[in-house]
Structure 1
């Protein structure tokens, strides 16, 4: 939004880097309701690790990103499961 950028300059706010904007956009939270009394499975840790690796592979096709720049967190509260994925992108150089 150009108007917001202009307003930010008038108010003396520092412009955000494209990497920080992309980081915010790539933060996603997925939620689902679990059946009553469902417990964690023993394979969950391996499944989350595989998910993390696959997401990193897809993102790395389009953006420069380090292997340790992705965090996957699964949280359960009562009968709701929330998956949060955070990816920190490297700054791009050049016009690309």
Structure 2
């Protein structure tokens, strides 16, 4: 069985589309910068180096950089990926504003 590993880097503000893994899952190992991971219907998680996220089989999600930081992770993916609609600017920038408000306390 082949298990691809990708070394992925996002420039500030860059994110991938919503997607789902079928017949497998994806493990993200954060190696640099700050970014986001979000599953459909759940709050986004702010990510930093050392964080590990598992996107389980059939779970719609996206990940990418914070608006003000580069973001790198290793992506270990099994199964097939189904690419869906983009994360809208409205969805994305609302997350960044929420995080900034949380950090100001």
Q: Please indicate the TM-score interval, normalised by the length of the shorter structure.
A: under 0.3
More helix per residue: 1 or 2?
1
More strand per residue: 1 or 2?
2
TM, length-normalised to structure 2:
0.23
Larger Rg: 1
TM, length-normalised to structure 1:
0.25
